Structure 1
Amino acid sequence: MKIFCTGASGYIGGSVAAHLVADGHRVTGLVRSPDKADAIRGRGITPLIGTLDDAATLAQAAREADAVVNAASADHKGAVDALLGALAGSGKPFIHTSGSSIVGTRSSGERSDAVFDEDTPFTPSPARTARVALNKQILAYRDNGCRPVIICPSLIYGSGLGVEPHSTQVPLLIELAKKRGNAAHAGPGANIWSNVHIDDLVTLYALAIDKARPGAFYFVENGENSMHEVCVAINRMLGFAREPSAMSMQEAAAVWGEGTAEDTMASNSRVRAKRARAELAWQAKARSLIAEIEQGCYRE
């Protein structure tokens, strides 16, 4: 197949694109600069220089492709409009990347027992209302003659194949631990995030392109950990003997910014990948988050 992928130099998009190339597909990837074009060309991806604001470029690339993977932004409505408009009536798959923070709950580092699968009703936080509305718009295109699918990962870990090799949370915690000489979490660190290895995530994109039904939505996870557990593993990996320390929310906001502190590092986001396993026979095989921190790509 000929596949167009946005975010082709990024952590998710670059990893997905490289996986699809390895499977024998011809992949064209959207990148923003000649340097990134050269980088993805070396991975067997044909670069297309542009941005998510280039509606005509996006639409033309979508029309020329057999499938589209949108992995550059979970929130860029203009890009979604351009891509889906070009695919309407074609029957082609459109795989959009969201994120499990849509069911996240701010908790200042406290634990929440709320767990969500694809059938669990929820009310998004104000920070994610627009994203949830965009997700609904995308899935409604199943009635417009194309095959929209949303993949909604939880915390992603592991070394990716894009120009940007890592995601957000774990590197932020490791960087802070190195600066302080001890890992630290926001509040008590009892808040829990489901998680998935990047190697397992990319296989779901390939499965979704092949056989996901129109309008399908998939959470993606293979376990969960509290931020305290993650910080304990970071300390072991770095050789720090103390227990992780607890930052106040004010301190965490000063380190990471209020939005990241409240909605990413101190929130809960607990999901179950019920439909991915049942509908697509997706199976996660990579090592766990704790094992990856202590034994894998995060070790110095």
Structure 2
Amino acid sequence: MKVFVTGASGWVGSAVVDELLRAGHAVTGLVRTDKKAEAVYAAGAQVVRGTLDDLDTLRTAAASADAVVHTAFNHEAFNGDFSKFAEAAEQDRRAIETLGAALEGSQRPLLVTSGLAGMARGASESEAPRPGFPRQSEQAANAARERGARVATVRLAPSVHGIGDYGFVPMLIRAARRHGVSAYIGAGENCWSGVHRRDAARVYRLALEHGATQTAYHAVADEAVPFKAIAETIGRRLGLPVQSREREHFEWFAHMAGGDMAVSSRRTREVLGWAPMGAGLLADIDQPAYYAG
């Protein structure tokens, strides 16, 4: 297949590009800068320069592809606070709407990336997230499907981990260093799911190769890791105390640190024949390289 990938140089997107290329697919990646373009070229993919605001570019690239994988999101919205998150979510919604419109009436699949916020604990792929979270990726995917596009959502675990990770676990590590304590909220019994970056990329590839027959897939290997266990691993590695703290300790990140984001991936494993092969979340973040920065 000829696959167009947005966010092709990102943490998840670059792994998806590598996975698709190794499987023999032709890939064109959307990138914003010359430096990112060089990395995508070096991986063996073609490049389209642009951003999620370049809707004509998205439309043209999607129309000439056999499939589209949308992993891009303005992650600057996660830096410091969530003040820019609504703006990033609207940009994402418009991009999905544009990509879906380019594929309407065809059987060419579009995979849209989302997360587990708003999902009930232990939820299956057939269940929908509770309303209220500002990211609209899944709602936009559903709207495109209703208009006649073949669209599926890949719901990523909150920790897509691996060496080089710059997501939520590194945020927790930096916070622990700054405060001198690795903290959790309450009893720390809320759980996160986790998936190794390479295992997540295989979900995307397999979903495309199976025709994106499901409305949602869960890229989840460790289904329920207690947040306290994550804090304990970080504290042990940094030589810091591990303590329960009030939500205010985590500031804008409190809704994530206290969130229950733990779901089942049984259906995804069954329909795709997907079996995670990478290290588990706790084993991965127990490596010295996670703390080298």
Fold shared per TM-score above 0.5: yes
1:52-71 mapped onto 2 (5 Å cutoff): 52-71=52-71
Residue 132 and residue 81 in structure 1: after superposition, are their counterparts in 2 closer, same or farther (change >3 A)? closer
Q: Quick one: which amino acid aligns to residue 284 of structure 2?
A: E
Match of 1:83, SS?
helix
1:167 CA drift (Å): 4.4
What is residue 118 of structure 1 aligned with on the other side? 125
CA distance in 1, matches of 2:193, 2:28: 31
1:29 CA drift (Å): 0.8
1:295 CA drift (Å): 3.2
1:160-179 mapped onto 2 (5 Å cutoff): 165-179=164-178
CA distance in 1, matches of 2:36, 2:135: 32
Q: Which runs of no fewer than 5 residues in structure 2 stay unpaired?
A: 74-87
1:299 CA drift (Å): 4.7
What is residue 268 of structure 1 aligned with on the other side? 260
Report whether the alignment pairs 1:159 with 2:175: no
1:257-296 mapped onto 2 (5 Å cutoff): 257=252, 260-262=253-255, 264-295=256-287
Match of 1:127, SS?
coil
What is residue 110 of structure 1 aligned with on the other side? none
Q: Quick one: which amino acid aligns to residue 123 of structure 1?
A: R
List per-residue Cα deviations over 1:157-209 (Å, max 9, x = no partner).
3337xxxx424221111112233343223444221112111111111111011
1:71 CA drift (Å): 0.5
CA distance in 1, matches of 2:271, 2:183: 39
1:14 CA drift (Å): 1.5
CA distance in 2, matches of 1:159, 1:229: 17
1:122 CA drift (Å): 5.2
What is residue 147 of structure 1 aligned with on the other side? 150
1:1-300 mapped onto 2 (5 Å cutoff): 1-73=1-73, 75=89, 76-103=92-119, 114-120=121-127, 123-124=130-131, 126-128=132-134, 130-141=136-147, 144=148, 146-159=149-162, 165-223=164-222, 224-238=224-238, 240=239, 242=241, 244-253=242-251, 257=252, 260-262=253-255, 264-295=256-287, 297-300=289-292
Residue 215 and residue 117 in structure 1: after superposition, are their counterparts in 2 closer, same or farther (change >3 A)? closer
Residue pair 1:102, 1:132 contacting (<8 A) in 2 also: no
CA distance in 2, matches of 1:156, 1:92: 29
List per-residue Cα deviations over 1:69-121 (Å, max 9, x = no partner).
000139412111211111112321111111111316xxxxxxxxx32112346
| Overall identity of the aligned pairs, in % | 31
CA distance in 2, matches of 1:130, 1:166: 24
Residue pair 2:176, 2:183 contacting (<8 A) in 1 also: yes
Residue pair 1:158, 1:198 contacting (<8 A) in 2 also: yes
Residue pair 1:159, 1:297 contacting (<8 A) in 2 also: no
What is residue 107 of structure 1 aligned with on the other side? none
CA distance in 2, matches of 1:261, 1:206: 33
Match of 2:203, SS?
helix
CA distance in 2, matches of 1:148, 1:154: 20
Q: Quick one: which amino acid aligns to residue 226 of structure 1?
A: P
Q: Quick one: which amino acid aligns to residue 25 of structure 2?
A: H
1:7 CA drift (Å): 0.6
CA distance in 1, matches of 2:129, 2:55: 32
Q: Quick one: which amino acid aligns to residue 50 of structure 2?
A: G
Q: Please identify runs of 4+ aligned residues in structure 1 that moved more than 6 A.
A: none
Q: Quick one: which amino acid aligns to residue 38 of structure 1?
A: E
The farther-off stretch of 193-202 and 180-189 is 180-189
Residue 131 and residue 94 in structure 1: after superposition, are their counterparts in 2 closer, same or farther (change >3 A)? closer
CA distance in 1, matches of 2:19, 2:138: 28
Length-normalised TM-score, structure 1: 0.84
> What is the count of residue pairs matched by the alignment?
275
What is residue 76 of structure 2 aligned with on the other side? none
Residue 171 and residue 276 in structure 1: after superposition, are their counterparts in 2 closer, same or farther (change >3 A)? same
Q: Quick one: which amino acid aligns to residue 243 of structure 2?
A: S
